[in-house]
Amino acid sequence: MNNNGFLFDTALDLIYLVSCSVNKTAPEPARVEAMNLQNVFRLAKKHSLTTAAAFAVEQAAVLPDYFLEAKSKAVRKLALYDIERKRVTDALESNKIWYAPLKGSVLKWCYPKTAMREMTDVDILCDSSRMEDVSKIMQELGFSCKQFGNGAHDTYVKPPAAKFDMHRTLFAENRQPLLSEYYRDVKNRLHRCENLSYGYHMTVGDLYIYVLCHLYKHYRFSGTGLRSLLDIYVFNKTHGSALNSGYINAELEKLGLKSFEAEVRSLAIKVFNGKHLNQSEKDELMFFIESGSHGSYKNYTLKALQNDNSKNRKTKYLIKRVFPDKETVKANYPVVYRHSFLYPALIIYRPVKGLIIHPKKLLREFRRVKNYKPTDNKGR
């Protein structure tokens, strides 16, 4: 059995477990006993599905210590996020800054237990004209600012593990211009929460569109993992009947995402209901499996090569990696972007840094590009 077959089989076990959790069915003890739970655990961690899997395992077997410890750690993190989120939003209310929690903070309510929906950070959209005030508030609450003024959000961290991304916009103009334009006046798409003066939320339909756009943003570049697919499944399971398909389809048409949504939704429903998949669906699922929660560098490389293994394409890719274009510099090296005379130094700095810090990663990338064949890519 090749590596991919082994990985796929482990993923099917993980999918079975999380499906049981979200569908509120008890897993078959015999099937759980037959699993290599160490392998399932490792894959679950990669996809931020440890708690979702753990809830299922413990219904059919004794949860192994490593699984229990990881579940406990994840639940603690989620609890700390809840506590910090309340502090942050209370402070935003007091300071009259409008805000809207995003992503996991909202999606978790679609799951049978909120603890099944792990989060690596908390995302909150804020009034873009008040980001300096937001920064002051976050620092007064004990957060350190890790990134400010670059891209769609500012990043704040606080021990032991809290990471908050405070968004000025939903999508960065230089990276996702179409999505950025669509959400230019995002506040017009929000509704004030009851009992709050400055807290806002999206309608269920707009939330679904946003979740899909966010999924596509990652899928298009380095890929996105099983948790994203699970989000689509549980969202449809929870809100499906309330979704105004006419409105949603019209909006997705504007974004060029209508067929993408249909494919992802169909795949999600089949996967998490244990239905038979055709070869194309298996390939698509494999892409999610190989990506992990935050995409993979392998998928980033494959997408950049765009199903073209010509020497010309590969050379262009490698040149672009050594000589980043204007958009890449603007997004990742804002100081160099503002002071273009530093560009030659950047050209030297990047590969030298890579060779010192992660030489094997560079070598893997080089080999991947050199050996790339179009059949590795599903052509998206």
Partner 1 sequence: MRLNPNFIKHTMDGVTLVVPTAEAGFHGLVQGNKTVGVIVDCLENDTTKDAIVDTLCERFEGNRADIEADVANVIGRLKEIGAIDGE
> Residue from 36, 83, 355, 367 that binds partner 1 (CB under 8 A)?
83
78 vs 92 by CB, closer to partner 1: 78
Site string for partner 1, 132-171 (x = CB under 8 A): --------------------------xxx-----------
Nearest to 232 by CA among 201, 262, 277: 262
Q: Shortest Cβ distance from residue 48 to partner 1 (Å)?
A: 17
**Are the C-beta atoms of 129 and 96 separated by less than 8 Å?**
no
**Of residues 7-66, which lie at the interface with partner 1 (CB under 8 A)?**
none
User: Helix (H) and strand (E) counts for the chain?
Assistant: 19, 7
**Applying CB under 8 A, does 114 fall inside the site for partner 1?**
yes
What are 212's two structure tokens?
A: 């899909």
> Residue from 7, 61, 80, 277 that binds partner 1 (CB under 8 A)?
80
**Applying CB under 8 A, does 220 fall inside the site for partner 1?**
no
**Are the C-beta atoms of 231 and 48 separated by less than 8 Å?**
no
> Residue from 4, 79, 240, 370 that binds partner 1 (CB under 8 A)?
79
Within 10 A of 110 (CB to CB), how many other CB atoms are there? 21
Q: Return d(Cα 242, Cα 222) in angstroms, integer.
A: 32
* Helix, strand, coil abundance in the chain, percent, nearest 5: 65, 10, 25
Q: Return d(Cα 289, Cα 200) in angstroms, integer.
A: 34
Residue with tokens 């978790």: 108
**Applying CB under 8 A, does 87 fall inside the site for partner 1?**
no
Nearest to 70 by CA among 35, 31, 44, 39: 44
Q: Shortest Cβ distance from residue 61 to partner 1 (Å)?
A: 20
Q: Return d(Cα 24, Cα 13) in angstroms, integer.
A: 16
**Applying CB under 8 A, does 76 fall inside the site for partner 1?**
yes
* Size of interface with partner 1, in residues (CB under 8 A): 15
**Applying CB under 8 A, does 331 fall inside the site for partner 1?**
no
Q: Which stretch binds partner 1 (CB under 8 A): 30-38, 58-66, 72-80, 122-130?
A: 72-80
Q: Shortest Cβ distance from residue 167 to partner 1 (Å)?
A: 25
Helix (H, G, I), strand (E, B) or coil at 163: strand
82 vs 93 by CB, closer to partner 1: 82
Q: Which stretch binds partner 1 (CB under 8 A): 74-82, 214-222, 342-350, 351-359?
A: 74-82
Q: Shortest Cβ distance from residue 72 to partner 1 (Å)?
A: 5
Task: Compute CA 348 distance to the chain's CA centroid, rounded to the nearest angstrom.
Answer: 31
**Applying CB under 8 A, does 78 fall inside the site for partner 1?**
yes
- Residues contributing to the site for partner 1 (CB under 8 A): 72-73, 75-76, 78-80, 82-83, 113-115, 158-160
